[in-house]
Amino acid sequence: MNHQSPDPVRSPQLPDVAFVGRANIDITVRIPQRPVAGRTTFASSPATTTPGGKSLNQALAARRAGARTSLISNVGDNEWGAFLSRALTDAAIDVSFFQHVPSAPTGIAVIEVTPDGENYIVLAIPPETELTGEHVRSALQQLQVPIVVTQLDLQPEAVNAVFRHHRAETLIGNLVPHPTLGPTALAALDVFVSNEAEAAAILGRQHTDPALAAQELRKLGPRAVVVTAGARGAAYSDVDHTGLVPTHHVDVINTSGAGDTFLGTLAVRLAHKVPLPDAVAEGVAAATTFVTITGQQ
């Protein structure tokens, strides 16, 4: 069953961005320290249940940045799936291609947040709700969007469907590619965005300078690369520029979702034809503000 909401009114002033990837429920607990084997750690406050998932978070961030957004994703046809649909509809995100899979559970992420704002995440993904190539193909053939953002760790048939059927001016990829695809998948991208740990996983080594990591990743084929570096900001590299946009010190509450806020904002600014260095700077500013508020979408 595919639950749909009315298509939001398009405005010529607003760019369109489509996100291809996962949506799930985030169950977040704040803890004084991580538990050790055989011991119980009591949470510092009651657990919270919120909408989550990389692509859902990015779509919400892009909507906050002023874009009309569409989310191509699957959830279970259950109470939590309905909860996510309501959250997207309330945020005026197009859910025409947000499907509810009968008899399937909805994915869950358990997030532990320590006092320094760091987060530790365990994600349970139901195989039944993984995107298929047909779902992605059908959605992208119906969408006229200048920007498409896809998770590269989806099942290969879904990622390949994005590569073959997107009609966007700019294709942005995120996360370590599925093992079956490998680093060669980066060559299909206009922009690749990763954090430092993901960059190291692809390159096989850790760079102390994220700008060097961005330059090395660009040798794998994407026209531009952005590597986020947490409290140090974000590095970028394209044919014209390589640099680092620093961030300023803030009191961090929760870093969960900061990278998605960065990417959602970046996508919107690129849709506005903002140059890459300026778009990265706006993404860093949005993520910096985000971690000081609640760390929740």
Question: HEC profile for the chain?
Answer: CCCCCCCCCCCCCCCEEEEECCCEEEEEEECCCCCCCCCCCCCCCCCEEEEECHHHHHHHHHHHCCCEEEEEEEEECCHHHHHHHHHHHHCCCECCCEEEECCCCCCEEEEEECCCCCEEEEEECCHHHCCCHHHHHHHHHHCCCCEEEEECCCCHHHHHHHHHHCCCCEEEEECCCCCCCCHHHHHHCCEEEEEHHHHHHHHCCCCCCHHHHHHHHHCCCCCEEEEECHHHCEEEECCCCEEEECCCCCCCCCCCCHHHHHHHHHHHHHHCCCCHHHHHHHHHHHHHHHHHHCCCC
Q: Span 207-225, mean pLDDT?
A: 97
User: What is residue 257's predicted lDDT score, i.e. its pLDDT?
Assistant: 81
Task: Quote the percentage of the chain above a pLDDT of 90.
Answer: 82
User: What is residue 15's predicted lDDT score, i.e. its pLDDT?
Assistant: 56
Give the tokens for residue 191.
Answer: 């922009």
User: What is residue 249's predicted lDDT score, i.e. its pLDDT?
Assistant: 82
pLDDT band at 251 (very low <50, low <70, confident <90, very high): confident
Residue 188: is its pLDDT beyond 70? yes
Q: Span 176-200, mean pLDDT?
A: 97
Residue 94: is its pLDDT beyond 50? yes
Question: Pick the residue with more confidence: 16 or 195?
Answer: 195
User: What is residue 19's predicted lDDT score, i.e. its pLDDT?
Assistant: 98
Across 69-73, 273-277, 290-294, least confident range: 290-294
Q: Span 43-65, mean pLDDT?
A: 95
Residue 211: is its pLDDT beyond 90? yes
pLDDT band at 77 (very low <50, low <70, confident <90, very high): very high
User: What is residue 11's predicted lDDT score, i.e. its pLDDT?
Assistant: 44
User: What is residue 294's predicted lDDT score, i.e. its pLDDT?
Assistant: 58
Share the mean pLDDT of the chain: 91
pLDDT tens, position by position, 18-38: 999 999 999 999 999 988 899
Residue 172: is its pLDDT beyond 70? yes
User: What is residue 204's predicted lDDT score, i.e. its pLDDT?
Assistant: 96
Q: Which CATH architecture has domain 16-23+54-103+131-293?
A: 3-Layer(aba) Sandwich (3.40)
User: What is residue 12's predicted lDDT score, i.e. its pLDDT?
Assistant: 46
Question: Pick the residue with more confidence: 118 or 55?
Answer: 55
pLDDT tens, position by position, 266-281: 999 999 999 999 999 9
Across 5-14, 62-71, 175-184, 205-214, least confident range: 5-14
Q: Span 157-176, mean pLDDT?
A: 97
pLDDT tens, position by position, 2-11: 444 434 444 4
User: What is residue 126's predicted lDDT score, i.e. its pLDDT?
Assistant: 97
Residues 74, 46 contacting (CB under 8 angstroms)? no
Give the tokens for residue 115.
Answer: 């006092």
Across 108-117, 151-160, 244-253, least confident range: 244-253
Residue 191: is its pLDDT beyond 80? yes
